Chain A
Amino acid sequence: MVAVAQHPNITLMTYCQVEKIEGFVGNFKVLIRQKAKYVDHQRCTGCGLCWESCPSHVPNEYDLGLSLRKSIYIRFPQAVPNKPVIDWEHCRHLNEGSCGICQEVCPTDAIDYHQEDEILEKEFGAIVLATGYDLYAGEAAPAEYLYGSHPNVLSGLQFERLLSATGPTGGEIICPSNGKEAQRIVFIQCTGSRDEAKGKSYCSRVCCMATAKQAHQVLEKNGGAEVYVFYIDIRAPGKAYEEFYRRSVQEGAVYLRGRVARIYPRGDSLLVYGEDTLLGRQVQVDADLVVLATAMVPAAGWEEMSLLTGVGTDKDGFFAEAHPKLRPVESFTSGLYLAGTCQGPKDIPDSVAQGSGAAAKVLALFSIDEMELDPITATVDEGTCSGCGSCLLVCSYGAITLEQIQEEERGTTAYSQVARVNEAVCQGCGSCTVSCRPGAMNLKGFTNEGMLAEVDALWL
């Protein structure tokens, strides 16, 4: 993270959103919304007086609700950039005009309640989409697992926050309900993954290893702890993965092959009923904490991003690569690349590999000054075009404009309107050719004559 912030060739634009993407490979024009931070980051030194003084408390998204933060905040102490923003939805001053403490205490006069969103226009030759994932938390877990209704049932990522030295407990594994150290922890695999009826049909790929790692960490921190893992099967197909999983088993994690049927609250603890299909019998485990390995889903906002970029998705919302084996980091739009979990569930080594893969594609593009484009584009026969504009309406790429042309005929000047195609923007989809009633629009490489000849060859 620090390497990124310090790199002279990288401009970090945090708290920003893409509003619009126009253009084509080598020539993208992007509108970016810089959301108002209400803090002048040129003046701010990141001293922290403002967030220490802020009187309002809101659930901390970074700790997934396990702690509180202030309305003026940084995500975590090592955040990059290490300067705060004001969450306007919860700020007392921005909503009610009261308070104003952060402005009073700021020694550099950096608080600016009048800051507004800014729209910036920038030009790029290539774009990499690396928008990531979310966890399919609440909705995915069956109601009988008590997620959301019992404080000691957590998602895998919430449990990571408990383990973390920067987390709400400083790395102590304690039960949210009573603050006592958790001695008996049950992990449930494939919650929402590999379950078409109650969640997603696919395997999320990281949970087996993430759970093995969490089990190891529990046993490392507390040798006396009891760790149980309910699983369907163990998927550890990476370099040193199987060995890592074995190590957790040897350290004492008890793996039970079977599903959990139901969890009952009993005071502060939880009674977990499941089955062990290897022994062929029902099991009952008394737990202090239950951790659910929930499915990976595309990060919120994937629908908007798909519309903005024109990159399609699969049935689950993951961005579609141009070819599953041969072009895994390319989209169907030239100059627009995909990397990481926005393309499908994957772990850190695979995400990093794709990040580098997409960078290699960008660098290959940047190694040339001019690029050849696909010549299969629409063309207009201006003599036949009636200027009706129906092609304009069906073009998804904004490649067609109507223009006035001037014709000299027998000494008089006549004006007419015709369609014009921007060859660099046209993707050769052919929608305009079928919408054109006079037949003036034709697609190079897929001419109306050629297509009809194909049909004739079949039927005549």
Chain B
Amino acid sequence: MRIGVFICHCGTNISAAVDTEKVAKAAANFPHVCYADHYLYMCSEPGQELIVNSIGENELDRVVVASCSPRLHELTFQKTLERAGLNPFMLEMANIREQCSWVHSRQREKATAKAIELVRMAVAKVSYNFPLQRPTVSINKNALVIGGGITGMQSALDIADAGYSVVLLERDNTIGGKMSMLDKTFPTLDCSS
């Protein structure tokens, strides 16, 4: 098992509160960690290159990225792993921004200690990860738009213009919604019919 750990500064979003170099040094000593580094923006092109190259050079089979919430960049880094030839699910993210630097902005020492613990946990979890394959499903190409106001009508027209069948469902007995109740519409004063 060969784990790589990558600590992101997120500009100063993380590095202002967390000593990223210290976190990287601590991570280098965690079980199975063969490589640990830190960089200004890990999600940027050079940041991702750093990960891809390190995977190749150090024969890494698992990766921990300590940066923002996985809601923001998990997909980004999963794709990075794929580019390096790893299964995307051999990635763990340690959220040291929303759950650390942003909430402990004036406690650098404690924030750094907490970031180290978060990375330690992610390293432990990634040790148990195994490759996953995405199942596939077929796509029925009919769309349902619920609501026949200006938004639903626009959506239905765009989908229909592309050649697909759309059901536009409206609970009232006419489409048009609130828009049809307006006399003229700003800023061009068009009619609403």
| CB of A129 within 8 Å of the partner chain | yes
| CB of A80 within 8 Å of the partner chain | yes
Q: Which of A355, A360, A455 contacts B153, CB < 8 Å? A: A355
Say yes or no: A368 contacts B139, CB within 8 Å: yes
Interface residues of B (CB under 8 A from A): 71-72, 89, 117, 120-125, 127-129, 132-189, 193
Q: Given the complex, which residues of A lie within 8 Å of B129, measured CB to CB?
A: 445, 450
Q: Given the complex, which residues of B lie within 8 Å of A458, measured CB to CB?
A: 117, 120-121
Q: Given the complex, which residues of A lie within 8 Å of B152, measured CB to CB?
A: 128, 130, 132, 339-340, 355
| CB of A10 within 8 Å of the partner chain | yes
Q: Given the complex, which residues of A lie within 8 Å of B147, measured CB to CB?
A: 129-132, 299, 340, 342
| CB of A210 within 8 Å of the partner chain | yes
Interface hits, A142-197 → B, CB 8 Å:
157, 160-161, 163-165, 167, 171
Q: Which of A75, A124, A239, A451 contacts B144, CB < 8 Å? A: A124
Q: Given the complex, which residues of A lie within 8 Å of B164, measured CB to CB?
A: 9, 362-363, 366
Q: Given the complex, which residues of B lie within 8 Å of A444, measured CB to CB?
A: 132
Q: How far is the CA of A26 from the CA of B135 in the complex (A)?
A: 13
| CB of A58 within 8 Å of the partner chain | no
Q: Given the complex, which residues of A lie within 8 Å of B156, measured CB to CB?
A: 4, 7, 10, 128, 359
Given contacts A14-B172, A27-B137, A375-B135, contact A454 B146 (CB under 8 A): no
| CB of A202 within 8 Å of the partner chain | no
| CB of A365 within 8 Å of the partner chain | yes
Say yes or no: A356 contacts B154, CB within 8 Å: yes
| CB of A369 within 8 Å of the partner chain | yes
Say yes or no: B170 contacts A14, CB within 8 Å: yes
Q: How large is the interface on A (under 10, 10 to 19, 20 to 34, 35 or more residues)?
A: 35 or more
Which of A32, A126, A374, A451 counts the most chain B CB atoms within 10 A? Answer: A126
Q: How far is the CA of A206 from the CA of B119 in the complex (A)?
A: 46
Say yes or no: B138 contacts A16, CB within 8 Å: no
| CB of A213 within 8 Å of the partner chain | yes
| CB of A279 within 8 Å of the partner chain | no
B133–chain A nearest beta-carbon distance, Å: 6
Interface residues of A (CB under 8 A from B): 1, 3-5, 7-18, 24-28, 30, 32, 37, 62, 64, 74-76, 78-81, 84-85, 122-133, 157, 160-161, 163-165, 167, 171, 209-210, 212-213, 217, 238-241, 243-244, 299, 301, 305, 323, 326, 339-342, 347-348, 351-352, 354-356, 358-360, 362-363, 365-366, 368-376, 423-424, 444-445, 447, 449-451, 453-458
The 10 closest A-B pairs by CB, nearest first: A340-B151, A355-B154, A359-B158, A457-B124, A130-B152, A9-B160, A450-B128, A130-B147, A26-B139, A79-B174
Q: Is the interface of A mostly helix, strand, loop or mixed?
A: mixed
Which of B121, B171, B173, B179 counts the most chain A CB atoms within 10 A? Answer: B173
Q: Given the complex, which residues of A lie within 8 Å of B89, measured CB to CB?
A: 375-376, 445
Q: Given the complex, which residues of B lie within 8 Å of A445, measured CB to CB?
A: 89, 129, 132
Q: Given the complex, which residues of A lie within 8 Å of B117, measured CB to CB?
A: 458
Q: How far is the CA of A97 from the CA of B177 in the complex (A)?
A: 33
Say yes or no: B183 contacts A163, CB within 8 Å: yes
Q: Which of B120, B143, B153, B188 contacts A4, CB < 8 Å? A: B153
B184–chain A nearest beta-carbon distance, Å: 7
Which of B121, B148, B154, B176 counts the most chain A CB atoms within 10 A? Answer: B154
Q: Given the complex, which residues of B lie within 8 Å of A78, measured CB to CB?
A: 180, 193
Q: Given the complex, which residues of A lie within 8 Å of B177, measured CB to CB?
A: 132
Q: Which of A11, A15, A24, A241 contacts B167, CB < 8 Å? A: A11
Q: Given the complex, which residues of A lie within 8 Å of B140, measured CB to CB?
A: 26-28, 123-125
